[in-house]
Structure 1
Amino acid sequence: MEVLQILHMNQGNGETSYAQNSTVQGKMLSTAKSIIDEAIQKMLCLTIAPNGSMGIADLGCSSGPNTLLLISEIIDAIHATSSSSSSSIEFRVFLNDLISNDFNTLFMSLPAFYNQLKEEKGAGFGSVFISAVPGSFYGRLFPAKSLHFVHSSSSLHWLSQVPPGLDCQATGRAFNRGKMYISKTSPQCVLDAYSLQFHKDFLLFLKSRAEEIVGGGRMVLSLLGRSSADPSTQESCYVQWELLAHALMRMVSEGLIEEERVDSFNAPFYAPKITAVVSGQRMAKTIRAVTESMIESHFGKDIMDDLFRQYAELCRALRGLLIKI
């Protein structure tokens, strides 16, 4: 699976789009707001001159209402901290995601966003220049010492690639048969492969940002995690992937897809935690908005509706195990 080419949240504003099914991610942003405000206050005390230009990057921005809401909240925090001099600050805002991200829908909402800023802040507020920076954040994206504030939410649990070594080279057989992520039946080599890939990716992310952020700059990261050392506990997002695998194996038993196709699919994802669920249908829409592009590239478009219908049924059956936020 070429993650850089195919991984993106569902595009547009339709029923199965990420824009319509990203309330969980929005709650993560709300939870982190006080941390963002504090980081900005400390940064402004150290690094930003009254007449300066500030570089702000949102890494893994996706599209939908959360993206520009975050930028608005960051600007609000800067305005509240340095209201006397904020009219002289130029904000260089960089929205980053993989090349297949729905930047078109995102940028179509910019005129309304700019108008709202003018109404709320007044014409004298500093200029805001928003641009897209497509590419993987597992590597350099920006010039050295060009960013003052970096943010990333609900993104760093996505890996740069499916971990290598999930197939036995001697036999060509998959170690993680019938599954698409770490499972209680997964051998230790599967767990080790995922852990190693995450650590490699995260270290590269940190090294890259260290070169791009100015001295005294700040970075706020939020990603799904787990408190247990076991990645297949009930608290982890393992349940969601397990249900998807069960739904696919149902379709194998119905002759709709081949079992080898399931065995050869593994998600480029690591260290999640169960979050919100209101109903099986809502969870199915949320997971579909996030995962459909990569699943469709492997299994084809025709099975998508049936797959997530079966996923919703499994969610309803296991609803008692899930936590409602």
Structure 2
Amino acid sequence: MTASMEREQAGGENLVSLRDKGTDQVSERLLRSAARLSRDAMTEIDWSLPMEPDKYGCSPEWSSLYGTDYWAELTEEQRIDLTRHEFASIMNIGIWFEMILQEMVLRDQYVGDYHSPEFQFALVEIADECRHSLMFAKASEKMVGKSYRPHPKISRLGKLFPIVTNQETAYAGILVAEEVLDVFQRGCMRDDRVLPFIRTVNEIHVLEESRHMKYAREQVRDAVADIGWLRRQTSALGVSMGAYLIVSSLIQPQAYADAGLDVRRAMYERTRNSHFQSMIRSSCAHLMEFLDEVGLLTKPAMRYYRKAHMI
């Protein structure tokens, strides 16, 4: 994310200038930003309005099959239906990870300093994530009427993640999910080809996640400031493995089936789609720069990022 984007999404607050001011100072500014700029999709979106049949669920360029032979064979109606199921899957996986996120933040702030800006913004973040999950649930229900969940094995690993992770792994893991979605949603929220209520969902999420990402980056910087070589290596590897599971789970195979596609062929074409892979890499560029800056982009970790086409 560029500095100009952060200023835009934080209502003119220059969050980049806060980089070296510490978590409490950043949290204090973010609390003021949240008080002024928080939005509620439950009241802002008219969920009763019918959907326009010619509008996509996301920008077609962000479809996992865009640019493939399979995409070329699809009718416009099939392409629209595919993007709706794909983005519904992304939103549902977002709900799954936001629930993990909330548990991690609660564990981190358990018996914390209740009067500190850091503690209070953590509660704001949890409240935001609850509203985001509800927003995603309503949006996916309206758009396709289907729920998507990660593979049962990954779901079980997700339950363990908040328990076994340390601070830098937890907050860097949060950044992985948020940074990837941020670039994706920025590209879709101003696209007139996308359903209007989905554009609003993206706009709300981008606005509020910009605060969450800043908070998470400060938490990671604080956590890695004095750690040793072994812990740094272990944490870097843990983050990369979690990143691989998150990114590879975003679009579930069932989404292709529900869109009326041949799942086996769709998965085959997706794994070889250089366009989609380049879109994933572009969405992770800022994340990789940050992980490198804090010493969490190690050679063993890069193996998993390459496997997920994040680098």
- 1 or 2, which has the higher helix percentage? 2
| Higher RCO, 1 vs 2 (CA within 8 Å, ≥6 residues apart) | 2
TM-score by length of 1: 0.29
TM-score by length of 2: 0.30
